Chains A and B, each alone.
Chain A
């Protein structure tokens, strides 16, 4: 039987899960092959030479040999380890959200060059930006665009009339913005004027420019709601990694409440 030579591909590691005693299944995202599930043998052992090269949120060059059901990673060399995405939990959370989107929307062995470049560029930006959340918003708009769900931001998705700067609504299920008249007739959620302007600005600007925009807490929460609704319409389910962002935001409150409860208990005793 002829020996099958390993193929080489560049890829971003999206996620991993344990397999057997010492192996892991890595989900790789390659520009030429799309999503690839491959086994990294022995990487859970301390002396594995490959373990650090197959960590999620890193980009590398991988040798892949066909296995019985999944490919086997024969060698791996890191090209970008994005240490900032691992050392800073806020950046990590945003990077995981992008990874989850890509993981859940791409198919095995289908080339995905533009999405790969978008993810790589977004990870580069996330590593240095002062505003990680803005990079995710910017990525989400382009991701929706590439998936064929580009939100309409110029004309009302209901009556096709041109929308004004104020009083509009956002209807994720309908595919974008609705005019004041349609919104007042009960279609969509309120779209405030600053968020509408921000959406249009993000559409035409680079991620670096988007990261410079100052967004107050109310506008940020509103934008999150609209983008989340659009994504959930596209993916037909809730994003799991966003729950961790919520847990993280609550963490200090939980700690302070636990400390107060402990002090009260001590006083009672």
Chain B
């Protein structure tokens, strides 16, 4: 990024560092840099410490491959959760989203990406081998594939269903269709097709309540 002579080199360095972060443009990078500059020293120190700490004390959980500061992670260690189901997701942020929704009380496995045939990303680039290693445990009854409903997600789900299917473990995939709050009129053909295919019968008792 080009800087004028009016910007001190140390500030320019900080602006460049913020600008490298995802979703941060040049203006936002400038605002953040000047915010840090004006903030009390203690706030800047806390930010610097947090940045170093996240690099020093996090690792991948040996079981689920999620990012954690203790191995095994809190979810893998939780005795209240069921060992019978493993929800397979693409990224650590997907675990956070599903946990926020509170809809899964089993274990997780993070692949750290998705198969992308046109970019040359294959199964060996993901944490697939680690997942297969976990399936030797007879307590696992179901694998829930929670890939994104896009081409990479479909390729990943298709590959995993072939590998895991050959191991005799039940495989399911999260449903896809219209998101809550969406308009049917704007939905594309494939979304509507999926929504129609995976329609569910209305529980009459629940409807009457």
A residues sitting closer than 8 Å to B (CB atoms) are 15-17, 20-21, 46-47, 49, 51-53, 55-58, 78, 81, 83, 86, 89, 92-93, 96, 99-100, 103, 240-241, 243-244, 247-248, 251-256, 258-259, 261-262, 265-266
Contact = CB atoms under 8 A, between A and B. Distances in A.
A236 to B, nearest CB: 16
Given A81-B188, A241-B117, A251 B159 contact: yes
Contact of B120 (A52, A53, A243, A248): A243
16 contacts: A15-B118, A20-B22, A46-B182, A51-B188, A52-B190, A55-B190, A81-B190, A89-B154, A96-B151, A247-B115, A251-B159, A251-B162, A252-B163, A254-B132, A255-B164, A266-B136
Contact of A248 (B132, B133, B158, B166): B158
B165 to A, nearest CB: 7
A243 B117 contact: yes
Contact of B135 (A96, A241, A262): A262
Interface of B: 22-23, 115, 117-120, 122-123, 132-133, 135-136, 138, 150-151, 154-155, 158-159, 162-168, 179, 181-183, 186-191, 193
Contacts of B159: 89, 244, 247-248, 251
A20 B25 CA distance: 10
Per DSSP, are chain A's interface residues mostly helix, strand or loop, or mixed? helix
B188 A53 contact: yes
A259 B164 CA distance: 9
A81 B151 contact: no
A81 B190 CA distance: 7
A262 B166 CA distance: 13
B192 to A, nearest CB: 9
Contact of A93 (B117, B165, B190): B117
B179 to A, nearest CB: 4
A24 to B, nearest CB: 9
A178 B7 CA distance: 68
Contact of A258 (B119, B135, B158, B183): B135
A258 B179 contact: no
Contacts of B119: 17, 240
Given A21-B23, A259-B166, A240 B120 contact: yes
A255 B163 contact: yes
B166 A240 contact: no
A57 B188 contact: no
Nearest to B167: A259
A55 B151 CA distance: 7
Most chain B beta-carbon contacts within 10 A, residue among A47, A89, A251? A251
A93 B168 CA distance: 25
A27 to B, nearest CB: 9
B136 A262 contact: yes
A103 B119 CA distance: 12
Contacts of A92: 151, 154-155, 158
